[in-house]
Chain A
Amino acid sequence: MDNLSHIIFGFGIAFQWDNLVFCMAGVLIGTLIGVLPGIGPVGAMGLLLPATMHITPTGSLIMLAGIYYGAQYGGTITSVLVRIPGEATSIVSCIDGYEMARQGRAGPALAIAAWGSFIAGTLSIVALMLISGPLAKAALDFGPPEYLAAICIGMVMVTQLSQNSPLKAMMMAALGVILGCVGTDLVTALPRFTMGFPELTDGLGIVPVVMGLFGIAEVIENLENQVSAGKVQNRISRLWPSLQDWTEAKWAIVRGSILGFLIGILPGGGGVLATFVAYALEKKISRHPEKFGHGAIEGLAAPESANNAAATGGLVPLLSLGLPTGPIMAMLFAALVIQGIQPGPTLITNNPDVFWGLVASMYIGNVLLMILNLPLIGIWVQLLKTPIWLLYPVIFLFCLIGAYSVNNSVFDIYVMLVFGVIGYLMRKFGYEAGPLVLAFVLGPILEQNLRQSLLISRGSFSIFFSHPISATGFAICALVLLSNALPWLRRRRQVYNQFAE
């Protein structure tokens, strides 16, 4: 019952009027930047950071965290309506969410995404509260070989993502790994494949690449069918999910939440990886995998739940060990440090107001987001009625602003435009961007952990099998690959049996 008294204490802090205002401001800003493609939570948090010195540490953390998980709600909206991810964590939602919108089910899609986010958010806050200590310590057991195994599982999942041709998916994944090699070599610290551009010494930016492949490519593709302008707006049948939608989505939401939370805890994992893995898992275990890519509600519910759960999961190592797992967590880390609070194992005991205040505010924030989002669905859906001649130039403009605003870099705009053309050609020839992006994100981490492992072992590959966690991970990889081969084997056996008879 200790946790109960703590959370009551936390609500006491979160319900103070100033903290309530910060929470509201945070989720509102978060939703807005989530809707605007490319304008990510990191930029918004950076602008607000010096201002947070003038408010309490609890208030500043409540507001900044609100921006972060608020953006996870907002990012879905444009994914579903116009197939442009508002955030990198909404990329997967484009696949089935957009298909649902095309079938006139934009309302149910947005509603299930909002409910999924809410349920995942709430479940993962409970998990954050209960198991943050022990779970974060387990994450410490992950060294380079263990991470390599985890990433290999992710890479194997790439093959499950493909809608049609696994071969094309593998090719795109290979291209993603190659693109991920651009930048500075980890071991020699010398630039490679930068073609003399200083802007490329840190590699190609994930945001310009993703926005080019998905956003710009979409705009270009739509220039073709101006005759059929307004292909989406014709049927908006209903706004709320039916009972059948719920039955189909409920377990996807639960699975997405658990998976998202666990991946969120891992450094380098984060929301993007969580959404891809959640989608792949749903497709794998679904009884009707052929529906995926054609408006399967699980294909939307699972990743949308996963990204919210991952947002909360990322707070676990930050608050219990002082380890920021990504750029957003680094911002929250900085917000605490400039106030003189060092995130670390003693944060919860030394600053209970910060920890429990934040946890309680996240319950409130999630309720606020529901109140904010559900009534707005009706309005968002109206967006589909915007004439194409107006909608696409606006999207194009937002992509330009978005690509520029990440690093204030004009170079990133060129990168986005180049990848826009590449993305358009890929669509024309039936290559999917999903595996490319996942491999592009995972490639550098894969290389880093592989090379670190081999540096530690001085070149011996035995390190991957002498570590129990990594050995288990590679075994899982093998099983997944084998399970792909099984239907093929079974078919072979049938053929053999027939032959034997």
Chain B
Amino acid sequence: MDIVKIAMAALAGIGIAAAAPALAQEYPAKPINIYVGYSPGDNMDVMTRVLGQKLEKILGQPITILNKPGGAGSVALSLLAKDKPDGYTLAAVIETPLDRIPLLRKLDYKPDDFAPVLQFASGVTGVVVSSKAPWKTFQELLDYAKKNPASFTYATSGAGSTMHVAMQYIGVERGLDWTHVPYPGARDTLTAVLGGHINAAVGSTQWANDVRQGNLKLLAIVGNERMASFPDVPTTKELGFNFSASSASVIVARAGTPQPIIDKLDKAFRTAMDDPEFVKTVKNLELDVLYRDNQKLKTYLADTMTQFKAVIEELKLPTEFNTSK
């Protein structure tokens, strides 16, 4: 009995070892599904649909885009976590549900449930105020907030968002008493600032057009690198804050997907990213095309998670782990 079992296991082992490269060569042998963690019309949805069209030509299989919005991308990930690790189901999300939300909320997946495939775009966060506002620089804004405690308001597209955490971090560093007002979406925060209801909005590049037209002033980029399209605007790192609120657009597979398949997908997406139609789409969405291969993305996600964990502990942010008894 035992011998038979061992022999069978050995045979199976040989079979798997032999099958793995063969699998990658055959892959993909059937259509690939991509769960998009957001609604149709969202930036990620538009980018994934354009990439998907190109990918069909490269891989020779249909690519089906399935919108699974909810929980800032975590609904799509919890679905993927239940799928088979065969590379036929992928998810397209912003990094947040992979490296930040797991630290704040109880989820039915772990970051380890996923194998990064690649990063294909990156977004920038900025601080904007109305063009009628008196502050010309971010430093002037901070000085004002310091001198006028309990009266300065800033809006973000949600409590616990990276932008919110970034501003809390800055507030603690400078000893500010300023008020966070959460809104459901980035566009809503800009409306509130344009209408003069809120002093500043912190969020993704949806402000770009209003800044160009002079309705809003961009005072700082929350991150480490300046923006190519607004080269004069300083970063918060230059101003002495060590916190990046960047947002990487990534593709992940289920953990346990054979590495040759990951590599093949990585390469195929990389080729699709070079398509002028994709480049134009990303540019029109005011995002940047940015490539990280699966290894570098893995390191990046782990680093961001470590950094975010330290900030949560420093700021004593409410999480589902410390509020529930």
Give A contacts to B, CB under 8 Å.
42-43, 45-47, 49-50, 53, 140-144, 184-191, 198-199, 201-202, 267, 321-324, 327, 330-331, 333-335, 337-340, 342, 344-346, 407-409, 448, 452, 455-456, 458
Contacts and interface: CB of A to CB of B under 8 A. Distances in A.
Contacts of A345: 213, 215
Contacts of A186: 158-159, 182, 184
Contact of B40 (A321, A331, A342): A331
Residue with the greatest number of chain B CB neighbours at <10 A, chosen from A267, A331, A334:
A334
Interface of B: 39-43, 45-46, 49-50, 53, 66-71, 74-75, 78, 104-105, 107-108, 150, 153, 158-161, 179-184, 187-188, 191-192, 194-198, 208-210, 213, 215, 277, 280-281, 284-285, 318-320, 323
Contact of B180 (A323, A346, A448, A455): A455
A335 B281 CA distance: 11
30 contacts: A42-B39, A42-B41, A45-B41, A46-B45, A46-B67, A49-B40, A49-B45, A50-B53, A53-B277, A188-B318, A189-B158, A189-B159, A190-B104, A190-B318, A198-B71, A198-B74, A198-B75, A198-B108, A267-B188, A323-B187, A327-B39, A327-B41, A331-B41, A335-B41, A337-B284, A338-B284, A344-B210, A407-B67, A408-B67, A408-B68
Contact of B46 (A45, A141, A338): A338
A496 to B, nearest CB: 48
B34 to A, nearest CB: 12
Nearest to A334: B41
A19 to B, nearest CB: 22
A267 B197 CA distance: 15
A323 B43 CA distance: 16
Contacts of A141: 195
Contact of B49 (A49, A185, A321, A333): A49
Nearest to B319: A190
Contacts of B196: 143
Nearest to B53: A50
A452 B182 CA distance: 7
A198 B158 contact: no
Contacts of A43: 40
A140 B39 CA distance: 26
Contacts of A202: 69-71, 75
A202 B97 CA distance: 14
A499 B240 CA distance: 81
B107 A452 contact: no
Nearest to A143: B197
A408 B66 contact: yes
A322 B66 CA distance: 28
Given A189-B182, A330-B41, A344-B209, 5 more contacts: A53-B277, A143-B197, A331-B40, A340-B280, A456-B197
Contact of B285 (A49, A53, A338): A338
A267 B191 contact: yes
Contact of A144 (B53, B197, B209): B197
Contacts of A45: 40-41
Contact of B105 (A191, A408, A455): A191
Contacts of A458: 150, 179
5 nearest CB pairs, A to B: A46-B40, A189-B160, A143-B197, A189-B159, A342-B209
Contacts of B285: 337-338
Contacts, number: 146
A140 B70 contact: no
A201 B159 contact: no
A414 to B, nearest CB: 15
A327 B185 CA distance: 11
Residue with the greatest number of chain A CB neighbours at <10 A, chosen from B74, B184, B197:
B197
Contacts of B187: 323-324
B191 A140 contact: yes
A189 B104 contact: yes
Contacts of B104: 189-190
B96 to A, nearest CB: 12
B41 A190 contact: no
B288 to A, nearest CB: 16
Contact of B181 (A321, A337, A456): A456
B210 A201 contact: no
A201 B75 CA distance: 9
Contacts of B213: 344-346
B146 to A, nearest CB: 17
Contacts of B78: 198
A456 B153 contact: yes
A407 B70 contact: yes
B192 A143 contact: yes
Residue with the greatest number of chain B CB neighbours at <10 A, chosen from A141, A331, A452, A458:
A452
A142 B195 contact: yes
A47 B65 CA distance: 9
A331 B150 CA distance: 38
A142 B280 CA distance: 35
A324 to B, nearest CB: 6
Contacts of B159: 185-189
A335 B41 CA distance: 8
A411 to B, nearest CB: 9
A47 B52 CA distance: 13
Contacts of B183: 448, 452
B307 to A, nearest CB: 19
A140 B210 contact: no
A357 B158 CA distance: 37
Contacts of A184: 71
Nearest to B212: A342
Given A327-B41, A330-B41, A338-B281, A50 B71 contact: no
Given A140-B191, A337-B285, A190 B320 contact: yes
A184 B107 CA distance: 13
B49 A50 contact: yes
A322 B153 CA distance: 23
B70 A199 contact: yes
A330 B184 CA distance: 13
Contacts of B158: 186, 189
A342 B190 CA distance: 15
B110 to A, nearest CB: 13
Contact of B50 (A53, A191, A322): A53
Contacts of B70: 198-199, 201-202, 407
B118 to A, nearest CB: 20
A201 B71 contact: yes
Given A198-B75, A344-B209, A344-B213, A46 B41 contact: yes
B74 A201 contact: yes
A288 B262 CA distance: 70
B184 A49 contact: no
A327 B45 CA distance: 14
